[in-house]
Amino acid sequence: YPLKHYLEAMALFDRLNSYPRHDVREFLSQHEGSPIAAMLRYRWLQTLKKRDRWQDYLIDYNAQTASTEQQCHYQLARFRDGEKTQSIAAAIKLWAVGKSQPKGCDKLFGILIKNNHITEAIAWQRYTDAIFNHEYQLSRYLQRFFTTPNYQELADKFYRIDRDHRVVGDYQFFSQHYVKTNSEEIHNVITHGLRHLAYVDAVSALKHWGRYRQIYPFNPTQKNQIITALVKGLYDQDHAASADIYLADNLDFVNTSLLEWRTRESMRKANWQEVLLWIGHMPKELQQDDRWKYWTYRAQQLATATESNTPKTKTPKTVNSGTYETLSIGRSFYGFISSEWLGNDYSMAHRGTTVTPEQLAALETLPGITRTRELLHQKEYLYANREWRQATRNFSESQWITAAHLSRQWKWHNGVVTSMIQAGYWDDIDLRFPLAFKKYFEKNAQKTGVPIHLLFAVARQESALSHNVTSPAGAKGLMQLMPGTAKQTARKNNIRYRNSNDLFKPSINIALGSSYYQEMLERFDNNRILATAAYNAGPHRVSRWQKETEGKLPFDAWIETIPYKETRNYVQNVLAFSVIYAHHLDNHQKILSDKEKQQSL
């Protein structure tokens, strides 16, 4: 039985308090590297710590699977065992991070402090990281390690700069301390202060920067951070002309992301000639990205339409539509929209993959793959994913494609999707976009009136069709619903819902997600762009963004200027995925309706 050692481990879990060290070590030796062995080791070390069995702790510790707290316990055990030099060096690395560490590290850190191993330089490293992370309680605690006037004054100045950015203008202070300490420390303090000041008073920040850059040799990263903050600050504080001049004069020092931001700001104002100007400032390789190739010609279209009062949904003859032809060959948001402008059918650019029975058999007989399948059958999804990751860690492209085909045989839809991502093979849309849990999507599409291909697209984007996943924010299941939203939606729509564990059931999750999406459609007049953005970022934000753009932007410009990059990409992906799912379902639905394309947002 492929999970025999899992059953043995479960039995050992129940016996840990009886201290079966020989049995534990035999198991760890036989199954080293397996996910269940890692869990056993973790629990075993916790037991040893409670029992003060530090010699055994040293023997059975494994750095690759240890938590931060266990790393601290291990270094404490080494210190007590006489390995003081090595343990102190490792303990300092654990201490010198810009966040609070677990309480289990307190004894180890107490030894560092008692024996004066925390120098001012080490404390300053942690102090600056804490300030950058806005860990103010930690930063105040760390001030006690600064015993010389130089570090005391510098720490106080850094703290005050973070809370009152105008303090960065104290030139005399920095000139006095520059020669007394590491110059990089001064550069970091000034950079931090100028960036923050720029967002509230960019004119003053620019004046200070003009002086500091003449005195101190800032590195490229610091220059980019300061100039970016200055440009954005000037622009937001009604000094757009000055911001543009300053940006144009400093193109060599900024990242391309700032140029993309500035281009979108022109787009938000529907200044199409200015959009073309800033695209022209982008590096040539970025201009060749599909996004900016599309916007080069789309902005020309909109500029011409503005000048001649041509309807915005028609391509003027003066615009070179060759780029639309090129883009329409691709299977992407920009490709599908380009096809719309040209009146062409969508190109799926599908290239299927095949594997032989021998390839499937060879893969399926690998021990880790066999265990994965059985764990999936037993609904032990956490361990299944761990076994899968370990078994596939050195796979080639062809092996990943075989893994996708094998996952499809198992009806493990998330395994299919993620395997094709790992393979880097994008053109087999049958594998990449499976019709998972189809009966539930059909039922809820009929119930809510939301097109089924759109529901599939949302689930594919949200979870890659994993029904048991939880996001870092706490969203759960196929359509990634927060428990609070699920509870409210269930009450409104009379859907049976007991607790957040129900969100891991596809039937309930799809019912709730479909109903919530239908609510967003109702709220935003059946506009899929706005409803999809609201599903991701929340309806209140979308309403605010609409208010800010004052209904003056064409649909694609509104999408392109969504302030959150995550939401911008989310909307584009869902709309593109909906086209692919419509193709699978043979319903020939358009990416957007004529009303949605003609509506200004």
CA dist 3 and 86 (Å) reads: 40
Q: Which helix (H) or strand (E) holds 399?
A: helix 397-410
Q: 462 catalytic, yes or no? A: yes
* 304 CA to centre of own chain: 38
Angle at 271 between CA 325 and CA 538, to 5 degrees: 85
CA distance 257 to 337: 24
> In sequence order, which residues have a C-beta less than 8 Å from that of residue 492 and are 6 or more positions away?
515, 519
Contacts of 387 (CB under 8 A, 6+ apart): 34, 35, 368, 371, 372, 375
Q: How many CA atoms lie within 13 A of 601 on its CB side?
A: 28
- What does the alpha-carbon distance between residue 183 and residue 532 come to, in Å, rounded to a whole number? 49
Q: 């490229």: which residue's tokens?
A: 220
SS3 586: coil
The token duo for 353 is 């993959």
Catalytic residue among 387, 462, 560, 596: 462
Q: How far is it, in rounded angstroms, from Cα 312 to Cα 597?
A: 9
What string of H, E and C letters represents the secondary structure of 157-171?
HHHHHHHCHHHHHCH
- DSSP conformation letters of 180-209: TS-HHHHHHHHHHHHHHHHTT-HHHHHHHH
- Contact (Cβ atoms closer than 8 angstroms) between residue 205 and residue 197: yes
C-alpha torsion sign, points 213, 218, 220, 221? negative
Closest to 36 (Cα-Cα) out of 9, 13, 15, 61: 9
Contact 125, 154 (CB under 8 A): no
Q: Which residues contact 118 (CB under 8 A, 6 or more apart)?
A: 92, 95, 112, 145
Residue carrying the six token digits 């200004």: 600
The secondary structure element, H or E, covering residue 473 is none
Residue 404 and residue 415: Cα distance in Å, rounded? 7
d(CA 85, CA 106): 19
- Closest by CA to 225, choosing from 203, 204, 205, is 205
Instruction: Give the 3-state secondary structure of 44-102.
Output: HHHHHHHCCCHHHHHHHCCCCCCCHHHHHHHHHHHHHCCCHHHHHHHHHHHHCCCCCCC
229 vs 211: CA distance, rounded Å: 17
First CA to last CA distance, the chain? 60
Residue numbers annotated as active site: 462
